[in-house]
Amino acid sequence: MPYIEVQDLQKHFIVRKKREKGRLLREKTRIQALQGVSFTVEKGELVGYIGPNGAGKSTTVKILSGILTPDGGEARVGGMVPWKERRQHVRRIGVVFGQRSQLWWDVPLLDSYSLLKDIYRVPDEAYRRRLADLTDALDLGDLLRTPLRLLSLGQRMRAELCGSLLHGPELLFLDEPTIGLDAVSKLALRDFLRRENEQNGTTILLTTHDMEDIAALCPRVMVLGHGKKLYDGALPELLSRYDTRRVITVRYGEGEELPPLPPGCAVEREGENMKITYEQKDLPTAELIARLQSAGPIRELTVQPQNVDHLIAAMYREMNL
């Protein structure tokens, strides 16, 4: 039996608009946040969950963590229905919201952790071991006596992660964990998550807008849009469907002009560099390079694949999101 089982999950919200002039009642709009989402996740998987803003990612996470009750459909996590057995359920999960803190603002981290230990009723011995392990892995040793408010964003995210893992959850939800972090912090965070997943077998569900996170971490990705699941599988496979365009940048020795190019190629000039964007299926790369060479001696030439963000944007466009 899969660890997480979601069947036809539905949730709507009623949003009241501002009252218009001359109307007695405020207009209400019904927003279908989830319209029948189904998936399963095995224990120990690391799954990326992506989609544009408002696609229903957070709603799914909130339902699976027991905060919200769905309107229809079923969900089971490790045999429990999250919103019905909230207290038993949340004991086994950890949740990190990128923009929301669960630690106390004005007190040293160690005090926050000690309070979390009491809230989760973690035995002394297990707590000591776990804390030592986490502070080591997250490099928090020097920060334990610092109040949260004095930490940088990257440090704070590490502190939050430590807090959400102290009770040794089987399942970790991460909502945009790398938002606003610098490159070094992002890399360190990804390493840590991979380690947590491999060593402790923690199942991780990660929502993010950062495609690098997904590419680096998640063998499997689910795409959500307008409350429906649009894709479920490996990231490279998903990208290959949209990865059709290439960009060549070329620079000639003595300011030669470009040779005539077939229609469908877009040319952009940046000083001496000329950037040509083309569809691979219409114009094979080898043929284009041959043509470019015929115009004169080339000093420099680079071929770039499209950036992942562009691919995702193209995908959202195509799926009408």
Partner 1 sequence: MDTLKLYVKSMGMLLKSQLQYPASFCLQTLAQIVMEAGELMAVLLLIDRFDSLNQWSGGDLLFFFGLMSVTFYLTECFGRGITGNFGNFVRTGQLDTFLLRPRGVLTQVLCSAMDPRRFGCIAVGVAALILGCRQSQVQWTAWKALAFAESVFLGVWLILGLFLIEAVFCIHSVKSVELVNAITYGGRSACEYPIDVYPRPLRILFTVVAPFALTLHVPAAYILDKPMYGWPAWTAFATPLAGAALFAVMYTVFQYAMRFYRSTGS
Q: Which residues are at the interface with partner 1 (CB under 8 A)? A: 13, 58, 62, 65-69, 86-88, 90-91, 93, 95, 97, 99-102, 104-107, 111, 114-115, 118-121, 147, 175
Contacts of 44 (CB under 8 A, 6+ apart): 197, 201, 202, 203
Choose between 29 and 99: whose C-beta lies nearer to partner 1: 99
Contacts of 43 (CB under 8 A, 6+ apart): 3, 170, 201, 203
Residue 148: CB atoms within 10 A of its CB come to 21
Residue 191's alpha-carbon distances to 119, 138, 154, 271, 308, in angstroms, are 28, 10, 14, 40, 20
Residues 203 and 222: their CA atoms lie apart, in Å, by 15
- For the chain, the first-to-last Cα distance in angstroms comes to 33
Contacts of 209 (CB under 8 A, 6+ apart): 50, 176, 179
Q: Which two tokens stand for residue 57?
A: 């990612």
Nearest distance from C-beta of residue 141 to partner 1, angstroms: 21
Residue 8's nearest CA partner among 58, 67, 76 is: 76
Choose between 67 and 289: whose C-beta lies nearer to partner 1: 67
Choose between 48 and 56: whose C-beta lies nearer to partner 1: 56
Choose between 119 and 303: whose C-beta lies nearer to partner 1: 119
Choose between 105 and 320: whose C-beta lies nearer to partner 1: 105
- Stretch (H or E) spanning 318: helix 308-318
Choose between 56 and 225: whose C-beta lies nearer to partner 1: 56
Choose between 99 and 294: whose C-beta lies nearer to partner 1: 99
Contact 214, 221 (CB under 8 A): yes
- Stretch (H or E) spanning 102: none
